[in-house]
Amino acid sequence: MASSSNNHPSLTAPWHCFAACVKDGGIAFEKAHGRQIWDFASENPEFNKIFNDAMACTTKISITAVIAAYKDGFDGIGTLVDVGGGTGGAVAEVVKAYPHIKSVNFDLPHVVATAQAYDGVSHVGGDMFESIPYADAIFMKWILHDWNDEDCIKILKKCQKAIP
């Protein structure tokens, strides 16, 4: 029987490195597993599912608030790219509320490979540090906090190039 996400060994192992990270710096997940979480997920389908399911769960709550607060903000958008969009739940909800929008859920290939089909959403695998699909607007949720300032600038410059 698979471990639940709360006690999965891949998620609990970084906590054993927490003291070392406080003392010496570094990222606990990388200390525990020897690689970034994204690489680890690409090599471990069970972990990838747990991670993607957790992100999708929190998306259900947050995207409802975003759509309600942004109201008419999506009206003038014809195409929308969700950069780091996981399995596509966020843009699927945007398209459900604004069916005129054609959207792209853009994430790493191993992530979008597990995404279900949604009307008005195409899933594209790629690397946001290399290029981002063209669109009228970019949507990002819980992306930039994972990166240092230099990487955030790279991501934002790629976003800028993707918008006409």
Maximal CA-CA distance, the chain: 52
Query: Would residue 145 show up in a list of annotated catalytic residues for this protein?
Result: yes
What proportion of the chain, given as a percentage, has pLDDT over 70? Answer: 94
Summary mean pLDDT of the chain: 87
For 69-115, the pLDDT digits (tens) are: 988 889 899 999 999 998 899 999 999 999 999 999 999 998 999 99
CB 128 within 8 A of CB 83: yes
Region class of 141: left (phi > 0), else alpha (psi between -120 and 50), else beta: beta
* The CA-based dihedral angle spanning residues 47, 123, 60, 14, taken in that order and rounded to the nearest 10 degrees: 20
pTM (2 decimals)? 0.78
d(CA 5, CA 16): 17
The dihedral built from the CA positions of residue 124, 136, 153 and 28, taken in this order, carries a sign that is: negative
Catalytic residue among 16, 33, 123, 145: 145
